[in-house]
Chains A and B, each alone.
Chain A
Amino acid sequence: MRELFLIFISAVLVNNFVLTYFLGICPFLGVSSHYESAIGMGFAVVFVMSLASSICWIIYHIVLAHFNLIILEYVVFILVIASLVQMVEMFIRKYSPSLYESLGIYLPLITTNCAILGLALFMIIRDYNFIQSVVFGFSCGLGFSLVLVMMAGIREELKFSDMPEVFKGAAITLITAGVLALAFMGFSGLISS
């Protein structure tokens, strides 16, 4: 139990995918301009990550490790992730057209999102068991959503702030992301092991 809790805290705060490993920067900058679409994207990523970690774990241990095909893990993981994202996209288009509109191009981009491939690879490297992998996937997704929603909140406020012309747009967004990453570095001493 303690192990799972540590994995959770580590993935959400200490080794946050976006701000510590710099994975998944594309949707982090692309979908964070509106609070609502950020929340939608966050949920989609949590869903895809939890599902991807469990299915990748099953396929890795049942098929790949069994047949000694570990060399093919990249291809298989990408295949799994792409199919999952396609499924999520279908569900969202069916049940929430407005969310589908606002996510736009970024939903298909989860397919090639390094954060999700990174998740699957980390899970294998760290030799997690099934429960740990699912918790790891879920908490990585949660960490991603947390940062995405924080960023969206800040960017919505930034729209009303008075700033020099040169900082407007991409510049202030990148600066904000950097400051957030600095802030998250404060968590780095949280778990000592």
Chain B
Amino acid sequence: MNEIIIAVVSLGSIGLVFGVILSVLDKKLKVEQDPLIEEVLNLLPGINCGACGFAGCKAYAGAAVENKDLYGGCLPGGKDINEKIAAALGLKSDFKSTALKVVVLCGAKSDEKKSSFDYIGPRTCSFANISLANIDCRFGCLGLGDCLEVCPTKALSIEAGLVKVDYSKCIGCGKCVEACPRNILKVVEAVNKDLYVVSCSNTDRGPFTKKVCSKGCIGCGICVKVIKDSCFYLEQGLSKIDYKKIGDKTGQELESALEKCPVKIINKFDA
């Protein structure tokens, strides 16, 4: 009986001493943290993509609470989340409904791109690109899916030898842009809900492009001519879109360019 009492008392007093020390230290070493930071952090998507220019959602939340000009920086969050953050910070929201989306500058499915070789090498784009490659076009999508692996939201898929973007999932982080050895992915700002893309990156002249792909830009320039002060422009025999200008054009004008294109490579996506 006596032993039990000794054990209980001594263990209890050891615990008590440590408890007192800890509670005193807790008061003394308390770290003051703005409760707003936590509130903003809970609103953020929490995927730590870094599109805001900070190391992660937590770093951004801390910076946004301190410097209120930074609000609206969360691109994946879109309008909803940025408005909520503005409300939490006591600001009025004027977030523009622009969203960064990735576009694929190649539109040829596997039966449309010519291929002279049977490619039996490793099934990665980076290897196929430095070897003879599985398609003849030096610019087009190899369709082996290096970009799929790096996509944090699984927005990309390969369909008939061509990468396809699921725009409801794409957050425009640009990770796939780095992964693509052929630089056919590009992050653009989709101002309208519609996203127009010239689905080709082949800078060869028309006849050479024709030889390797039936869906290649031949550089005819019709898209440039059909719209006044066009948002399309030619560079090295390849039509490109100036995404800064495209916001001013009406849907009708753009539709006409889409229809006039002889090889039908201007595509419209619902972003």
Contact = CB atoms under 8 A, between A and B. Distances in A.
A80 B17 CA distance: 10
For the side of the interface on A, what is the size category?
Answer: 10 to 19
Contacts of A80: 14, 18
A93 B29 contact: yes
Contact of A86 (B11, B14, B22, B31): B22
Contacts of A59: 14
A177 B105 CA distance: 45
Given A69-B6, A69-B7, A63 B22 contact: no
B122 to A, nearest CB: 10
Contacts, number: 38
Contact of A76 (B6, B11, B21): B11
Given A79-B15, A86-B22, A63 B10 contact: yes
A75 B26 contact: no
Interface string A143-155: 0000000000000
Given A67-B10, A72-B7, A90 B15 contact: no
Nearest to B19: A83
Contact of B29 (A63, A64, A91): A91
B26 A76 contact: no
B185 to A, nearest CB: 22
A72 B151 CA distance: 53
Contacts of B15: 79
Q: B interface, how many residues as a size bin? A: 10 to 19
Contacts of B11: 69, 72, 75-76
Of A59, A83, A91, which is in contact with the most chain B CB atoms at under 10 Å from its CB? A83
Contact of B14 (A68, A76, A91): A76
A94 B21 CA distance: 17
Nearest to B55: A101
Q: Is the interface of A mostly helix, strand, loop or mixed?
A: helix
Contacts of A94: 29, 31
A179 interface: no
A87 B22 contact: yes
Interface string A53-64: 000000100011
A80 B10 CA distance: 14
A94 B29 CA distance: 6
B130 interface: no
Most A C-beta atoms less than 10 A away, residue of B10, B21, B26: B10
Interface string A28-55: 0000000000000000000000000000
B25 interface: yes
A51 to B, nearest CB: 12
Interface string A85-102: 011001101100100000
Given A83-B22, A87-B22, A93-B29, 18 more contacts: A59-B14, A63-B10, A64-B10, A67-B6, A67-B7, A67-B10, A69-B10, A69-B11, A72-B7, A79-B15, A80-B14, A83-B21, A86-B22, A90-B26, A91-B29, A93-B31, A94-B29, A94-B31
Interface of B: 3, 6-7, 10-11, 14-15, 18, 21-22, 25-26, 29, 31
Interface of A: 59, 63-64, 67-69, 72, 75-76, 79-80, 83, 86-87, 90-91, 93-94, 97
22 contacts: A63-B10, A67-B7, A68-B3, A72-B7, A72-B11, A75-B11, A79-B18, A80-B18, A83-B18, A83-B21, A83-B22, A86-B22, A87-B21, A87-B22, A90-B25, A90-B26, A91-B29, A93-B29, A93-B31, A94-B29, A94-B31, A97-B31
